[in-house]
């Protein structure tokens, strides 16, 4: 059940649902052709044939697709953000718990080599207890506007805050094993005035265990340069630091 132009390698035999044919013209056909996969114009037909579903559609559709897949007893891997509202997210969690299917979020940053190395250093206690973290996700200013739904508040669920915070807050929760207790966010004047969502922000976090965090996210970088999933942790009495 994916509509994307870049298919995960190894999943190319997975049938995809042709749900957007009218909306996005010939793209599904091109996609199916390139990856040699079947197209379905009826979602139920597809769901009856598969064991698992990967949801990579635009954010506002995650909830509906997940619920329908779960109703068929299918395991779900869902792109971030989970949904575009907490109510919808709670709904998905309840459905998963009722049905007993596997549900996982695509928090891909947990799978980067460097973030895994950092995690193992932290778990080994190499810098002691984590006391503070600063993270940044800054991508090129032209990237988001290459996809129209990405800068549509209703379909994406928000702008740069929604796009980046889920990644870095997940990374920080993973590193600390603690939940966020206090949040302060301010989004600055847009670098790109022609989009209807915020394109930069500064977020300060305090976790339940006292750890401080900062997230700097934007779609503001000039072309040819970006940082993604950068997170430095400042540790305690052993006083170490892992950067990037």
Partner 1 sequence: MDLRVTVTSELGVALLGYGFMGSTHLLSWRLIEGCKVIGVWGRNASRLNSFCEEYGVEAFHDLDKLLRDERVDIVDICTPTYTHHELTVMSIEAGKNVIVEKPIALSLNEADDMISKSRRAGVKFMVAHVLRFFPDYKRVKELVEQRSIGNVASLRAHRVGPAPSWSSWFLDKNKSGGVVIDLAIHDIDYFVWLMRSMPVSVYAKVTNLVHKDHDVDDYALITLVFPDGAVGFIEASWAMPSSFPFTMKLEIIGDNGMLQLDNRLSIPLRMWTSKGEETFSPESLQVRLGGQFLPLDPFYRELSYFAKCVKEDIDVEMSGEEARKSLLLAIAALKSSHSNAPVTVSG
Binding site for partner 1 (CB under 8 A): 131-132, 134, 182, 184, 186-193, 200-202, 204, 206, 212, 214, 216, 218, 220-225, 234, 236-241
Instruction: Give the three-state DSSP class for 191.
Output: coil
Nearest to 114 by CA among 135, 83, 88, 100: 135
DSSP state of 176: H
Residue 17 or 201: the one with the smaller Cβ distance to partner 1 is 201
Please state the closest distance from residue 206 (CB atom) to partner 1, in A.
Answer: 7
| CB neighbourhood size of 86 (10 A) | 9
The neighbour count for residue 113, using CB atoms within 10 Å, is: 7
Extended beta strands in 72-167, E state: 75-78, 103-105, 130-140
d(CA 174, CA 146): 31
Shortest approach of partner 1 to residue 101 CB, angstroms? Answer: 40
- Smallest gap from Cβ 190 to partner 1, in A, equals 7
Check residue 127 and report its DSSP letter.
T
Nearer to partner 1, 89 or 212 (CB): 212
- Provide the minimum distance between the beta carbon of 86 and partner 1 in the complex, in angstroms, as a whole number: 23
Residue 184 vs 228, nearer CB to partner 1: 184
- Check if the beta carbon of residue 195 is closer than 8 Å to that of residue 152: no
Q: Where are the beta strands (DSSP E) in 35-186?
A: 39-40, 52-55, 75-78, 103-105, 130-140, 180-186
Short-list 142, 168, 166, CA closest to 156: 166
**Pick 62 or 234: Cβ nearer partner 1:** 234
Shortest Å, Cβ 159 to partner 1: 14
Q: Measured from the CB of residue 230, what is the shortest distance to partner 1 in angstroms?
A: 12
Of 35 and 234, which has the nearer Cβ to partner 1? 234
Nearer to partner 1 among residue 80 and residue 140 (C-beta): 140
DSSP code, position 15: -
């Amino acid at each position: 059940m994916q509509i994307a132009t870049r298919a995960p390698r190894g999943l190319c035999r997975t049938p995809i649902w042709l749900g957007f044919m009218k909306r996005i013209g010939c793209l599904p056909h091109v996609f199916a052709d390139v990856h040699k996969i079947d197209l379905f114009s009826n979602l139920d037909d597809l769901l009856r044939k598969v064991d698992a579903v990967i949801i990579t559609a635009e954010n506002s559709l995650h909830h509906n697709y997940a619920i329908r897949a779960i109703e068929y007893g299918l395991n779900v891997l869902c792109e971030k953000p989970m949904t575009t509202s907490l109510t919808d997210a709670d709904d998905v969690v309840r459905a998963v718990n009722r049905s007993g299917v596997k549900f996982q979020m695509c928090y891909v940053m947990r799978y980067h080599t460097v973030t895994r190395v950092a995690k193992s250093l932290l778990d080994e206690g190499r810098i002691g207890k984590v006391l503070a973290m600063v993270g940044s996700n800054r991508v090129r200013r032209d990237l988001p506007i290459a996809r129209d739904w990405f800068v549509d508040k209703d379909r994406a669920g928000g702008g740069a805050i929604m796009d980046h915070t889920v990644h870095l807050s997940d990374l920080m929760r993973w590193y600390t094993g603690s939940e966020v207790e206090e949040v302060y966010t301010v989004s600055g004047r847009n670098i790109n005035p022609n989009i209807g969502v915020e394109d930069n922000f500064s977020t300060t976090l305090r976790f339940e265990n006292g750890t401080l965090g900062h997230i700097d996210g934007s779609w503001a970088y000039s072309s040819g340069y970006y940082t993604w999933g950068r997170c430095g942790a400042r540790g305690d009495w052993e006083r170490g630091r892992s950067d990037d």
